[in-house]
């Protein structure tokens, strides 16, 4: 098995035992038979969008985490975003306008490391 695939498979086996709070904050207490968790941001694949404000958007339905990378260079993770909000964002005629009216200020977020 390819190392990256093996690492992702190990993460998902581990992630099912983790509380949502641990996934969001990126910490987890280890026990003898468990491995430390990776940050979810390592597994979310971002799709480049056509927008003057947003560069790329990624979504993980399991943790309901939406990642948005801006043209200004910053990237943020928004937590508790329902799948339909991600779908509407991707189908919106203006991704930036949809983001500002339906996501910004409505969900818990954190800036992702560069």
Length of the chain: 114
Would you call 40 helix, strand, or coil by DSSP?
helix
* Distance (Å) of CA 77 to CA 1, 33, 41, 67: 30, 30, 8, 4
Would you call 55 helix, strand, or coil by DSSP?
strand
Radius of gyration over alpha carbons of the chain, in Å? 15
The dihedral over CA atoms of 97, 99, 101, 105, expressed in degrees to the nearest 10, equals -150
Per-residue pLDDT of the chain (114 residues; tens, 9 = 90+): 556 666 666 666 665 555 554 444 444 444 444 444 444 445 789 999 999 999 999 999 989 999 999 999 999 999 999 999 999 999 999 999 999 999 999 999 999 987
* DSSP for 70-103, written as a single string: ETTS-EEEEES--HHHHHHHHH-S-HHHHHHHHT
Q: Please tell me the pTM assigned to this model.
A: 0.63
């Amino acid at each position: 098995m390819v190392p990256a695939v093996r690492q992702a498979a190990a993460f998902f086996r581990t992630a099912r035992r983790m509380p949502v709070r641990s996934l969001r904050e990126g910490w987890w207490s280890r026990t003898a038979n468990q491995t430390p968790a990776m940050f979810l941001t390592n597994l979310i694949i971002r799709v480049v969008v056509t927008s003057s404000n947003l560069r790329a958007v990624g979504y993980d339905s399991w943790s309901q985490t939406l990642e948005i990378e801006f043209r200004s260079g910053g990237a943020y993770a928004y937590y508790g975003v329902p799948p339909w909000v991600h779908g509407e964002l991707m189908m919106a005629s203006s991704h930036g306008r949809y983001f500002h009216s339906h996501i910004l200020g409505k969900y818990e977020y954190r800036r992702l490391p560069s």
